[in-house]
Amino acid sequence: MMIKYFGINIKQKPDGLKLTRDNYIKVSNKSSFGNGKVYSDEYIKRQSENSLYNYDLNMDYFRLLSKEEFNKELMKFVDETKVFEEITDLAPLQEVPGYYIMVLDEYAQVYIGSSDNIKKRIQSHWSKQKQFDRLIFGNKENSILSIDSFRAYDTTKIFVYPTHQTLIKENNFINQFNAKYCLNRTKGGALEGLTEAIIQGKTRGMLDKD
């Protein structure tokens, strides 16, 4: 069954189009890193427990954020950059390059990205299920939930900046946004594979007392 959202058809998922604790994990015993590794039952149990612990920690963190302050930060960012515009229809952005901001109002979070095809890239975020062995990026106490763990209906606003100069400004945009409201798990721009992504990784001190 197809559903129209932001002007495009998206596929309904049996477990819903919003992230929940029940649909967060899709267990796989196969490595997603292309090395042919098969995970043990012990690893699967530990990874599942750690991922749910991290999920709950993130949700507690989101609940403490001020939605009002988040919206002020978002509008400040849009006003200062002067290049992003809110859109309600992704269809015209097929094969259009540029930057995009996915806004998840319920969680007071944004994700900032760039692509040669904005529509296709956002659709890919909505259709993916984050790989089991990549749910945690850092450790269970500080890993930020991946944008690919969220579902289509979690995105409530979209801002775009169409331009052929992709990647160049992505990291600056990420750093310009208050980190506590940003889901990006690594620096923006061109990365030399997984190793650099890990080196440039971003985490969040969700157990900090301050």
**pLDDT at residue 140, rounded to an integer:** 97
- Average pLDDT over every residue of 7-28: 96
From 147, 155, 145, 146, select the one nearest 206 (Cα to Cα).
145
Q: Whole-angstrom Cα distance, residue 127 to residue 10?
A: 8
Which residues share a beta bridge with 86? 159
Strands (E), 116-151: none
Q: Whole-angstrom Cα distance, residue 157 to residue 111?
A: 11
From 34, 33, 15, 38, select the one nearest 25 (Cα to Cα).
15
**pLDDT at residue 38, rounded to an integer:** 97
Q: Is the pLDDT of residue 196 over 60?
A: no
Q: Is the pLDDT of residue 210 over 50?
A: no
Q: Does an H or E element contain 176, and which?
A: helix 170-176
113: three-class secondary structure by DSSP: strand
pLDDT band, very low/low/confident/very high, at 115 (cuts 50, 70, 90): very high
From 184, 152, 182, 198, select the one nearest 23 (Cα to Cα).
152
- How does pLDDT run across 48-83, given as a tens digit for each residue? 999 999 999 999 999 999 999 999 999 999 999 999
- Average pLDDT over every residue of 112-135: 97
pTM: 0.94
Burial 97-127 (b: 16+ CB within 10 A, else e): bbbbbbbbeebbbbbbbbbeebbebbbebbe
